[in-house]
A and B are shown apart, each in its own frame.
Chain A
């Protein structure tokens, strides 16, 4: 049993008459103090996992299977009040849209103090003192406590939100693309501040992004998701030296490490599958340059090339070949042409 265990987690959204499984059989574990990166294209279910962990899913979303245990305690099915007590104190979230995460009609200080007071027996004064402390940790002056959100720059707001998330030394921090709205220089500074504080208070962290190069810098483990499923999960250093899954190979082409930049950038053609349709087989099969007949009908199980490293693909024995071929642009161009052809044929059928 680790600090955090997520097992066979399904999260389903009801949409109109249908439903879509945005998170499908996801399992992972996190040690105390460990930081894990979740990467994947837009819509693959990253935010949904984060909200599932916080039990903050919108009304049409629900955990339909699986378990989440934190320190051995089951979180799925906890009462509202028990969940409320966990939030911020145990699990804190730095949300994807931190720009709009502050209430425009209250001062930043009030909003921080309010959160602290909801979980502690600190009085107003004590909570204020704590708020000033975390403000200093993220590099904001005390006088900013009296500012309203509209009086602050994006970077300051972002830091205020981070200060809020860290105000009670949570044991788990979930950072959902915490810096996407900021310019690159500020992004970097803020990122490093988060990591520094996370190490200081020894919390575990789940870091969500679609930029895998960031993960290579700051996370010990990486989870690659696609269409609601985990494709590959690995210690970061192994992953960046030797990815296994064809999707990971494609992603890595799209986000090369500084040391590996070549003149041609290769992207993965096509778009993620429509989760509203019933999906069989490997979620990636439409866009995979190595897909076989089997891939479209049979769901690949995980294989473990080494302990702590899992890959969901039908062809473990062909990894070397995949790795070689995926670095060539032609390999992916073939997919692009196939997708275009299929699209035209489908169109022709629809018009006929």
Chain B
């Protein structure tokens, strides 16, 4: 098992280098000159040249790439043009907000999805089941920003239960992780975006759980569990759901990539100061180093989640040994 994890980690490092190369090339071939957005076009040529040199943009592509990779290995993503701070610092500030929002939403979606999907399989063929399917599909198909706006309109504007924007009330300044994230003010701000993202995530675990549950329920060991005189709920959750969970875990890992896409929109709608929103801004500002850094961190995140899913799988299914 340990050997497996180490092997996977090595592969992951290779993958990250590969992905970084692709991201590097992607940004160099994109139209638009960063200096145009960075620097007032009316400044003298010499000043402009000096800026280019300062950021290393006058070098050849190869030299730029070599420097880029060398820095990357040292976890140095360069300096953000816009913030004029090390990219890593900016990401460090933004990442926790994104992770917290994403995990809260996933937790919400997976808990409801797993139990709801199992329950829907149990209620197969009833009105309640079709209602459940329709419900989860609506939130998967509806544009996230639109759902987000509706949620804001209802819970924030009409009912006034939760704040609609940002991560903390204006005027509040926190410095440490604790001061920023472990406050009721933060939790109140978290509710609506997490709820919206959760609704968007909901369909995947629910529908996969339902299908996989239907399959499992026709297995002989389920009949056996009934024949043993176990209570229905025990058969459903301990025997059937436990087995049906396996495909959900796999799909969950694959889903993370898609989830990040949805996450970006939600962060924009809720002005959530996370990595997703930062990416959008970095790209519009042609802030190469920051955008590159964000992309690399997000790809790493996806890979890590996949690894976690695989390891989890081995714990859930005794037939799997690595």
Contacts and interface: CB of A to CB of B under 8 A. Distances in A.
Contact of A88 (B221, B227, B318, B319): B227
A261 B219 CA distance: 40
A86 B221 CA distance: 19
Interface stretch (A8-16, A93-101, A239-247, A307-315): A93-101
Interface string B238-282: 010011000000000000000000000000000000000000000
A87 B220 contact: no
Nearest to A161: B224
B228 interface: yes
Contacts of A86: 229
A118 B220 contact: no
Contact of A115 (B219, B221, B223, B230): B230
Contact of B319 (A56, A104, A119, A161): A104
A54 B39 CA distance: 81
Given A100-B219, A101-B220, A105-B243, A56 B226 contact: yes
A92 B226 CA distance: 11
B156 to A, nearest CB: 44
Which of B219, B223, B232 has most chain A Cβ within 10 Å? B223
A101 B225 CA distance: 8
A32 interface: no
Interface in A70-89: 80, 84-89
A87 B221 CA distance: 15
Given A97-B220, A103-B221, A105-B316, A87 B231 contact: no
A54 B318 contact: no
Contacts of B239: 103
B219 A85 contact: no
A89 B318 CA distance: 30
Contacts of A6: none
A119 B232 contact: no
A148 B318 contact: yes
A104 B221 contact: yes
Contacts of B230: 84, 114-115, 118
B225 A103 contact: yes
A84 B228 CA distance: 8
B317 interface: yes
Nearest to A168: B229
A95 B318 contact: no
Interface in A139-172: 148, 150, 161, 164
Given A104-B317, A105-B318, A150-B318, A89 B220 contact: no
Contacts of A88: 227-229
A22 interface: no
A93 B227 contact: yes
Nearest to A94: B227
B229 A119 contact: yes
A127 interface: no
How many interface residues does chain A have, given as a range? 20 to 34
A103 B319 CA distance: 11
Contacts of B225: 103
B223 A95 contact: yes
How many interface residues does chain B have, given as a range? 20 to 34
A102 B319 CA distance: 13
B219 A105 contact: no
Contacts of A93: 227
Interface in B287-322: 316-319
Contacts of B243: 103-105
A115 B319 contact: no
Nearest to A148: B318
Contacts of B228: 87-88, 114-115, 118, 164
B229 A87 contact: yes
Contact of A84 (B221, B224, B231): B231
Given A101-B223, A101-B224, A104-B319, A80 B229 contact: no
Which of B219, B224, B225, B226 has most chain A Cβ within 10 Å? B224
A207 to B, nearest CB: 17
Interface in A48-84: 54, 56, 80, 84
B21 to A, nearest CB: 41
Nearest to A165: B227
A120 to B, nearest CB: 11
Contacts of B319: 104, 148, 150
B205 to A, nearest CB: 19
Contacts of A115: 228-230
A80 B220 contact: no
Contacts of B318: 104-105, 148, 150
B235 to A, nearest CB: 10
Nearest to B223: A56
Contacts of B224: 95, 101-103, 161, 164
A169 to B, nearest CB: 14
B229 A100 contact: no
A330 B227 CA distance: 46
B209 to A, nearest CB: 16
Contacts of B316: 105
Given A85-B229, A114-B228, 20 more contacts: A84-B229, A84-B231, A87-B226, A87-B228, A87-B229, A88-B229, A92-B227, A95-B223, A100-B221, A101-B220, A101-B221, A101-B223, A103-B225, A103-B243, A104-B243, A104-B318, A105-B317, A114-B230, A118-B228, A148-B318
Interface of B: 219-221, 223-232, 234, 239, 242-243, 316-319
6 contacts: A84-B230, A88-B228, A95-B227, A101-B220, A102-B221, A150-B319
Interface of A: 54, 56, 80, 84-89, 92-93, 95, 97, 99-105, 114-115, 118-119, 148, 150, 161, 164
